Amino acid sequence: MRLLASITTLGLISISAVFASLAHYTEYKSFPEALSECAEYFERLVYCSLINLGAWDIEKHSERSYVLQGFFKPAAGDSCYQNRTQNCVKDISHTCKDHAERAYEAFQCYYRQYGNLVNDEQYVPLELNELYTLVAAGFAIQNLPRCVLVEYSKGNILDEPNFPRTLLTGSVRGGYYSRQRGINIENMYVQFGVPELVTAETRQCCDAALKEVCDGSDATKLHRIFKKCLKDIIPTLKLVEVVAGMIVNKC
């Protein structure tokens, strides 16, 4: 009898527990509510995409405007898109809770204020560690001896006899120079984000330097352009010095 009473009590408790949990199985929700709950995943998808495209600086936790703008095309006749976009980005810089939300809001600023999203493939810049690898590969391909690397680590680079070929190797592999089309200023700009690169003065300087050695090798042409027009604009020499120092100190 006691056993039957115990079983009955246990059964009632179990049934009560089941009914108590039924509320979790009966749910009503609107589509906007579902979207709101899933918004975090979409924000992280955009965040991942910006990192994948090199349009998000993971160290500074901010968008690289000079990269991101390449994926949007302003409307014809719109002369205010840059100011609108910059103001939009400034307004959200202190309101976002995390990096994914910040990246998503920055993307939204470009999507709403800068122009239409384009489907064309764009050059993806290298991260700093990838630039180091690119430079080191150039050293290896040119089979530079230790004594040359020691000089590079001291900053004695620009007029060193092996540098033109080393510069060409890294530039071709990095997408900054083509043997068919010559120097690619646009890719350099996307890589380093220096506005001076895309000015008329810099382009004119590059054209003039090229004419001075029009019959020279690709290494000679690129070195002349770099020496006369780019050495003080992009951090190539510093990258070479740093990587050479790493290799020398490691040996």
Sequence-ordered list of residues with C-beta below 8 angstroms from that of 35, at least 6 positions apart, any chain: none
Q: What is the CA radius of gyration of the chain?
A: 29
pLDDT tens-place string over residues 82-134: 999 999 999 886 666 689 999 999 999 999 999 999 999 999 999 999 999 99
pLDDT for the residue 222? 98
At 24, is the pLDDT very low, low, confident or very high (cuts 50, 70, 90)? low
Q: Cα 212 vs. chain centroid, distance in angstroms?
A: 35
- Mode of pairing for the β-strands spanning 116-117 and 72-73: antiparallel
In contact, 81 and 74? CB cutoff 8 Å = yes
Question: Could you give the 3-state DSSP secondary structure of residue 191?
Answer: helix
Could you give the residue ranges of the DSSP H alpha helices within the chain? Answer: 2-21, 31-52, 65-68, 81-92, 99-109, 128-141, 146-153, 163-174, 185-192, 200-212, 218-225, 236-250
**Which pLDDT value is given to residue 19?**
53
- Cα–Cα distance between 107 and 56 in angstroms, integer? 10
> Tens of pLDDT along 191-242?
999 999 999 999 999 999 999 998 999 999 999 999 999 999 999 999 999 9
* The dihedral sign for the CA sequence 110, 130, 172, 222: positive
Kindly report, residue by residue over 4-19, the tens digit of the pLDDT.
Answer: 454 445 454 455 555 5
Confidence of residue 37 (pLDDT cuts 50, 70, 90): confident
> How far is the C-alpha of 149 from the C-alpha of 130, rounded, in Å?
19
Q: Give per-residue pLDDT as tens, 170-180.
A: 999 999 999 99
CB 92 within 8 A of CB 102: yes
Number of Cβ within a 10 Å radius of residue 72: 17
Supply φ then ψ for residue 213, to 5 degrees.
Answer: -130, 40
Q: What percent of the chain has pLDDT over 90?
A: 77
Matching residue, tokens 């009914």: 19
Residues 128-249, CATH architecture: Orthogonal Bundle (1.10)
Q: Give the residue range(s) of CATH 1.10.238 domains in the chain.
A: 128-249
